Chain A
Amino acid sequence: MQANTIHTVPTGDSDKKALLAQLQRAILPLQGIRNPLQTHPVENGLGAINEAFPNGTFPLGAVHEFISTGAESFAATSGFISGITSGIIKNNGIVIWISTARTAFPLAFQHFDISPERIIFIDLKKEKDALWVVEETLKCEHVAAVVGEIQQMDFNQSRRLQLAVEKSRVTGFIIRKDTKKIMPSACVTRWQIQPLPSELPNHMPGVGFPRWQVELLKVRNGKPGAWNVEWSEGKFKLIEKELNTVSFSSNQKRERYA
């Protein structure tokens, strides 16, 4: 393109990059990722994980989706979510935990820096009610975070949830327990958390701090990745690890909705 045609058109390579970045920034809010200046960042030692997200911070006011493959992975997932949530509710916020078959033990949340009395558990019988309640709570801006244990959710339902939080700025975490059929969703991210063997310093015997393999399977406008994370002393700690690449199944790669 010639410089003398239109003034605003960049000539150099760097200008082109700047324009692209500017356009990217303009598009992000349209896709449900808020400008980080409007929200308080999660200061929880996420470190390198933050770089995977657009704008370089954990997206708040968005719906995150977690895939849980069993009771053990579900426990790891709830631990990771609790860690993130403790960073969100720093100033007296309220967490709502919605479930149809709850096993979460309130006492343990104190280990993740959440006062258990600030969690309101909503235990429902029907899956349909659970989705309604998740949407209703996500619409309520007085809530800091919502965790919903959902068996199955189709694209339209996830779109409704995402639209609800774009208005209310609540952060939603959806844990999907039925992994047989993972449908595309409108959520901003998709995660999978698996437990990793813990380690105590100097090879001491016993069980150490919780350690997880955190896989960011999909992130809208970001870079998926995988990290080893430990929760200790009230924050996340990234663990240097040997395996750096995560093998995505070809099926997941092909999905366009992420």
Chain B
Amino acid sequence: MPKRYISIWFRYLLTDRSARHAPQLNKVPFVLVAPERGRMMIVAANALAQKENIDAGMVLADAKAVFPALQYKDAKPGLEMVLLHNLAEWCIRYGPVVAIDLPDGLILDATGCAHLWGGENAYLQDITNRFRRLGYYVHVAIADTVGKAWAFARFASSGNIIVDETNTLLSLTPASLRIEHSTIERLNKLGIRQIRELVNIPRPALRRRFGHLLLQRLDQAFGQEQEFIQPVQPVETFEERLPCLEPISTARGIEIALTRLLDTLCERLYKQQKGIRTAVFKCYRIDGKVEQIEIGTSRASHNALHLFKLFELKIDTIEPALGIELFILQAPKVDDIIVPQEKLWNGTSGLLDPGIAELIDRIEGKVGPGHIHRYLPAEHHWPERSIKPATSLDDTPLIPWRTDKPRPIQLLPVPEKIAVTAPIPDYPPMQFNYKGKLHKVAKADGPERIEREWWIDKGLHRDYYVVENEQGQRYWLFRLGHYDEEQKPEWYVHGFFA
């Protein structure tokens, strides 16, 4: 079967898109602008603006001088890529292989598709009409190579379907070859106005003057060199539906529906080695309302029983009212599953044990997120910063835990001020008053000076002492700063040793 390609050219891609959101812009000259070298440059202009001779590449101030009532808006950088990607996904209805052709086009591999639409003419007509209805003004052309389709969509004057393709291409300007702007200008200067003139020049001369790209484009356009396009891969949605013959209004019925949906979805996920991170269970009631419950997991899971347990905590929040006629289970976020190595004995695989992740999910499902913490060592001396929260169960310490300095097993979140009797300059206190009780210090160790991390915050250093009172109770005290003439440094209790 001969290859057929369709090129879709969005004549006013960005302005059409703005006009879709604000239809009044269709009726006035309108441009999109972006700052460049300290001035506002026009990056896209709509059809009416182009009639006023305002086009991309002009400075906004110049254009306003020509046409003072010009409407303009800031262009979002990178928008065309997103836009074309979405349009390409939509275009999969016309053929399975759709590629993005930056900056303003799409390419479809339409080989063997046209007959489904009643011939090529109807096929192209349908594409044009549907885009028209969406608000996009497109030029469409079909040809047997990508290069020809591209050229005809943009430069041919005689309709979308060209009978004598090679001759028509030969009569087009070299600009229709998808070559660099500088090459086009040089060809113009040399007086080469048609591709026909170009193909008569010996190839080594062309390569020497214009580089390899021009020859490659020529070969691709005439079908002497195969051209590959990179098709857009649509994201697979993980969704299962369960319509019901009779409306369901009991908790037991909802449970059964959920179990069946979870079983099928988990089976699919299992085959693809993926697991659910978040899942939404939607219940469509017969009175038109949608009830939904959501769950999240701390590690990707395709264990239907575990996921059911997470949902189970929330099932009673669903109000079935007159009954539910459709259940939908969606997994908006899925991750690859890390398959743990099989262990001979259970219960000792530590943090990678899926049982731990499932327990954490159950707790988070009940009490909400943000309550579960695990800590790793951080490279800081300041006690409050010497630990950092782990982001996931898979995190392992990057540096060893320090044990060379004594650290209390209970650390107060905020140090509490105490009154002390201490000999100067740097002796531990002889006695201190904490919470209205006088403690006489029997033994003490220290000081351990911990300097303030000046690149993070400012303040005085701390001199830490481990002290034990006469009853054997052990405290971690510190003095903030030095003694000097004007003021006495403050003392704090910061923790309790075991």
Check A108–B362 contact: CB distance below 8 A: no
Stretch at the interface among B78-86, B129-137, B139-147, B363-371: B363-371
Beta-carbon contact of B359 and A210 below 8 Å:
no
Question: Across the interface, do B374 and A80 meet the contact criterion of CB distance under 8 Å?
Answer: no
Q: Which residue on B lies nearest to A72, using beta carbons?
A: B473
Q: Are A75 and B474 in contact (CB under 8 A)?
A: yes
21 contacts between A and B (CB under 8 A): A72-B475, A74-B410, A74-B496, A75-B409, A79-B497, A82-B409, A92-B349, A106-B375, A107-B386, A107-B402, A110-B401, A111-B407, A117-B376, A117-B395, A120-B356, A122-B373, A123-B373, A195-B498, A205-B443, A206-B443, A210-B474
Which B residues, 391 to 430, have Cβ-Cβ distances below 8 Å to chain A? 395-397, 401-403, 406-413
Complex interface: chain A residues within 8 A of B362 (CB): 136
Query: B359 to A198, Cβ gap below 8 A?
Result: no
The total number of A-B Cβ pairs within 8 Å is 177
Task: Decide if A115 touches B401 in the complex (CB within 8 Å).
Answer: yes
Query: Shortest CB–CB separation between residue B71 and chain A, in angstroms?
Result: 54
- CB A148 to nearest CB in B, in angstroms, measures 13
Query: Are A137 and B472 in contact, CB atoms less than 8 angstroms apart?
Result: no
A103 touches B474 (CB 8 A): no
- Give B351 Cβ to nearest chain A Cβ, in Å: 6
What 6 pairs across the A-B complex have the smallest Cβ distances?
A79-B498, A142-B355, A75-B496, A105-B411, A197-B472, A72-B473
**Inter-chain contact B498/A75, CB cutoff 8 Å:** yes
Does A4 make an interface contact (CB < 8 A)? no
Q: Residue A165 at the B interface, CB < 8 A? A: no
Write out the residue numbers on chain B whose beta carbons fall within 8 Å of the beta carbon of A208.
443
Task: Say yes or no: is B444 at the interface (Cβ < 8 Å to chain A).
Answer: yes
Q: A104-B410, A111-B407 are in contact. Are A198 and B366 (CB under 8 A)?
A: no
Additional A-B contact list (9), CB under 8 Å, known A115-B401, A117-B397: A76-B498, A93-B350, A104-B410, A112-B409, A117-B390, A120-B356, A123-B373, A195-B472, A198-B468
Contact partners of A42 in chain B: CB under 8 A:
none
Per-position binary interface string of chain A over residues 123-145, scored 1 when its CB falls under 8 Å from any chain B CB and 0 otherwise:
11000010011001100111110
With a CB–CB cut-off of 8 A, which chain B residues contact A118? 350-351
- Expressed in whole angstroms, the Cα–Cα distance for A171 and B407 within the complex equals 26
Q: Hey, which chain B residues are within 8 Å of A144, CB to CB?
A: 347
Residues of the B chain whose Cβ atoms lie less than 8 Å from the Cβ of A78: 409-410, 498
Given contacts A142-B356, A143-B359, A197-B468, contact A108 B408 (CB under 8 A): yes
- In B427-477, the 8 Å CB interface with A consists of 442-445, 466-468, 470-475
Question: Does B59 lie at the interface of the complex (its beta carbon under 8 Å from any beta carbon of A)?
Answer: no
* B443:A103 contact, CB within 8 angstroms: no
Chain B proximity mask over A55-81: 1 for CB below 8 Å, otherwise 0: 000000000000000011011101110
CA distance A159 to B351 in the complex (A): 29
Which residue of A has the minimal Cβ distance to B472?
Answer: A197
Which residues of B, 467-498, contact A by the 8 Å Cβ criterion? 467-468, 470-475, 495-498
A120 contact from B355, B374, B386, B387, Cβ within 8 A: B374
Pair A207/B474 contact, Cβ less than 8 Å? yes
Residue of B with least CB distance to A209: B498
Q: Please give the distance in Å from A39's CB to the nearest CB on chain B.
A: 12
The interface residues of chain A lying within 8 Å CB-to-CB of B475 are 72
Residue A75 contacts which of B395, B403, B408 (CB distance < 8 angstroms)? Answer: B408
**Chain A's nearest CB lies how many Å from the CB of B165?**
68
B474 touches A198 (CB 8 A): yes
**Which residue of chain A is the closest to B442 with respect to CB atoms?**
A197
Given A142-B359, A210-B498; A103-B366 close (CB under 8 Å): no
Per the bound structure, the CA–CA distance linking A76 and B383 in Å amounts to: 20
Per-residue B-contact encoding for A78-98, CB less than 8 Å = 1, 0 else: 111010000000011110000
Q: CA of A121 to CA of B371 in the docked complex: distance in angstroms?
A: 8
Residues of A with Cβ closer than 8 Å to B? 71-72, 74-76, 78-80, 82, 91-94, 103-112, 115-124, 129, 132-133, 136-137, 140-144, 194-198, 205-208, 210-212, 231
Contacts of B351 in A (CB 8 A): 94, 117-118
Q: Are B348 and A91 within 8 A (Cβ)? A: yes
Asked whether A103 and B413 contact (CB < 8 A) given A82-B498, A136-B362, A198-B472, the answer is yes
A121–B409 Cα gap in the complex (Å)? 14
Chain B residues, Cβ within 8 Å of A136: 359, 362-363, 366
Contact partner of A207 (CB less than 8 A), chosen from B349, B371, B466, B495, is B466
With both chains docked as a complex, state the minimum distance between the C-beta of B373 and any C-beta of chain A, in angstroms: 5
A196 x B353 contact (CB < 8 A): no
If A103-B410, A105-B410 touch, whether A94 touches B353 (CB-CB below 8 Å) is yes
Minimum distance in angstroms from B417 CB to a CB of chain A: 15
Which residues on the A side are within 8 Å of B396 (C-beta)? 117
Contacts of B407 in A (CB 8 A): 105, 107-108, 111
B323 at the interface (CB under 8 A from A): no
Q: Which residues of A contact B383 (CB under 8 A)?
A: 105, 107
Decide if B247 is an interface residue (CB 8 Å cutoff).
Answer: no
Q: Mark B165-201, 1 if CB is under 8 A from A, else 0.
A: 0000000000000000000000000000000000000
Alpha-carbon distance between A133 and B368 when the two chains are bound, in angstroms: 12
Q: Select which of B376, B401, B403, B409 is within 8 A of A79 by beta carbon.
A: B409
* Pairwise interchain contact A129-B397, C-beta atoms closer than 8 A: no
- Given A107-B402, A122-B363, A207–B496 Cβ distance below 8 Å? no
Task: Indicate whether B372 reaches chain A with its CB closer than 8 angstroms.
Answer: yes
Interface 1/0 per residue, B10-44 and A, CB below 8 Å:
00000000000000000000000000000000000
A105-B408, A106-B387, A143-B356 given; A210·B348 CB < 8 A: no
Asked whether, in the complex, the Cβ of A197 is within 8 Å of the Cβ of B470, the reply is: yes
Which residues B76-130 have CB closer than 8 A to chain A?
Answer: none
For the complex formed, measure the closest distance between the CB of B446 and the CB atoms of chain A, giving whole angstroms.
9
Do B498 and A92 touch across chains, with their CB atoms under 8 A apart? no
Whether A92 contacts B366 by the Cβ 8 Å rule is no
